[in-house]
Amino acid sequence: MNFKKLSIALLTLVLVMTLSFTVLAEEVELRIYHVNDVHSRVEEDDYAGSMGYAKMETLIKQGRKEKENVMFLDAGDTFHGQTIANINEGEAISHILDLMDLDALTLGNHDFNYGQDRLKELAQMSNFPFLAANLSRKDGEEIPYTQDYIIKEYNGVKVGVFGLATPETSYKTHPKNVEGLVFNNPIITANAVVNELESKVDVVIALTHLGISEGSKYTSKMVAEEVPGIDLIVDGHSHNVIEGGMMVNDTMIVMAGEYSKYLGYVDLTIENGEVSNIDANLIPREDTKNVEKDYIISTVVDRINRANQAITSQVVGRTAVELNGARGSVRTGETNLGNLITDAMRAKLDTDAAITNGGGIRASIDQGEITQGEVITVLPFGNTAMAIKLSGADLKAALEHGVSKYPATEGLFPQVSGIKFTFDGDAEAGNRVQQVWVGGEKLDPDAVYTVATNDFMKAGGDGYTMFKEAPIVKEAGGLEEVLMDYIAANSPVAPETEARILIK
């Protein structure tokens, strides 16, 4: 036997096996589950199309069994929106997401709805970080409830995740909730953070609440176009369903719709410190019919609901028709629920007209009994109703502003009472409103009208700056209370659309 040849053959085999093992060792797979704009749609809901957190947890747990490396991210608008969250100001959501082992959350505009003090408390009680690298204070002080980024390691691969909050937060929550804060340019911020991370990590992920809406000044698509070095953007805010992800330059953008209708996941392959493959997927609610709900999450949700039931189950009246509060409807045209709400405001405050922002209407109500919980779900922000004095010119300017983003589904779109107006949706913004009537008569730009609105808009929210200096005539308490009182007094209600808003 030629031992020299045998030794060389064995050495060659060992080297090949070693090299093969080295290549395999340098290839790491990472799965990233993601959600956005859940708006506390915690439970499975046929009407809203939500799968709920319990089914999501089952899917994520299954993924953690199948995959060695799994991350779970939330792109914001998480703590507010439904009664289960609003009654305890987000604490229930924090607890549930802790049980689901959330890795990080970026702050959405509605996550500020309880104010900064409460946001600080939520950050302290949560075991996951709140990310917002472009958020700072005017006085230069540190923000106690956010951090710029996190770094996590998976089989030797370092992954950096940084957050970006939409600058629209300055007017898409109540202005008092963001006093003293600065929402810096997300593109400039992203460049700076990526430059800092590139020497520290192998994979860069931006967890953003920017959206891809044409009505937004800053979008995640702009970040991908102008900031090299981001492998993945997990986005929210515009509620888009991005099937298979969207490649912009070398960056993949993903978004999973809204209201827990989808659970997104992205599979990354990292070789020699570089992303060699990226695959984006969505699991729609209709594909989860046979998925069992996670026992722990279901039990926690049931206990929270039982504690809240004494409040939410009280019947305030009935509706003879379905009340349309769908996002795509209240932000682009007149709806019967928008009419009901503004009629209630105008009746309560005895004004010439009423105007409320479509973005403040967050759900529909089925025909039949109306419970207190349903009204709170429709009007979850705790806004107060108030009457102000406006000149006819300012009232028209408000309507112009309200339709300025049409046909984009923006929350500033107005729902009105005591007003009828026509506008040209194809005309240049600022010159769209054609005719306006108040109380059945043509608007007089020099006349002074009393207008019922909410405190969010009065403070300039959603960009209604013409309301800021308007004198307040009187206030009427919570908007949800105003609506409940009106329903109780006029039950059964049966509002219709009445051509209050005509689009030409």
Q: Using 50, 70 and 90 to split pLDDT, how confident is the model at 22?
A: very low
Mark whether 240 and 188 lie in a shared domain.
yes
| Domain end among 273, 304, 335 | 304
Confidence of residue 300 (pLDDT cuts 50, 70, 90): very high
Give the per-residue pLDDT at 20.
39
Q: In Å, what is the CA distance from 25 to each residue of 44, 160, 233, 426?
A: 41, 21, 26, 58
So what's the pLDDT on residue 476? 84
Identify the pLDDT of residue 447. Answer: 98
End-to-end CA distance of the chain: 95
Angle at the Cα of 483 from the Cα atoms of 93 and 319, rounded to 5 degrees: 95
CA distance 53 to 34: 12
Residues 180 and 240 in one domain: yes
Rounded to 5 degrees, φ, ψ at 285 are: -60, -35
Q: What is the mean pLDDT of the chain?
A: 93
| CATH for 184 | 3.60.21.10
Q: Can you tell me the mean pLDDT for 55-74?
A: 98
- Residue ending a domain, among 275, 304, 333, is 304
Among the three residues 304, 338, 360, which one is the final residue of a domain in this structure?
Answer: 304
More confident residue, 377 or 266: 266
- State whether 279 and 381 are in the same domain: no
* Residues 358 and 264 placed together within one structural domain of the fold: no
Query: According to the model, what pLDDT value does residue 284 have?
Result: 98
**Closest C-alpha to 73, from 189, 247, 193, 234:** 234
Domain that holds residue 356: 313-503
pLDDT score of 7 more than 60: no
Dihedral, CA of residue 412, residue 172, residue 149 and residue 264, to nearest 10: -50
Residues 378 and 486 in one domain: yes
User: pLDDT band at residue 221, thresholds of 50, 70 and 90?
Assistant: very high
Measured distance CA(481)–CA(487) in Å, rounded: 10
Per-residue pLDDT tens for 36-49? 999 999 999 887 89
Q: What is the pLDDT of residue 475?
A: 82
- Does residue 138 share a domain with residue 121? yes
285 and 391 share a domain? Answer: no
pLDDT-based confidence at residue 474 (cuts at 50, 70, 90): confident
Amino acid 83: pLDDT: 86
pTM of this prediction exceeds 0.85:
no
In the predicted model, is pLDDT for residue 393 greater than 80? Answer: yes
Tell me the average pLDDT across 380-384: 85
* 329 and 196 in a common domain: no
Q: Is the pLDDT of residue 207 over 60?
A: yes
Residues 180 and 280 both lie in one domain: yes
| Res 103: pLDDT | 98
- What pLDDT was estimated at residue 8? 44
Asked whether residue 173 falls in the same domain as residue 238, the answer is yes
Per the structure, the count of domains in the chain is 2
| Cβ–Cβ under 8 Å, residues 30 and 154 | yes
Same domain, yes or no: 112 and 193: yes
pLDDT band at 2 (very low <50, low <70, confident <90, very high): low
Quick check: 306 pLDDT over 70?
yes
CA distances from 258 to 38, 73, 293, 305, 335 (A): 6, 14, 19, 22, 21
Same domain, 291 and 389: no
Q: What is the pLDDT of residues 328-339, one digit of tens each?
A: 999 999 999 999
**Beta-strand pair 501-503/433-438:** unpaired
Tokens of 423: 């506008």
Q: Which residues contact 6 (CB under 8 A, 6 or more apart)?
A: none
Q: What is the pLDDT of residue 187?
A: 98
Specify the CATH number for the domain of residue 476.
Answer: 3.90.780.10
Could you report the per-residue pLDDT of 431-469, keeping only the tens digit for each?
Answer: 999 999 999 999 999 999 999 999 899 989 999 999 999
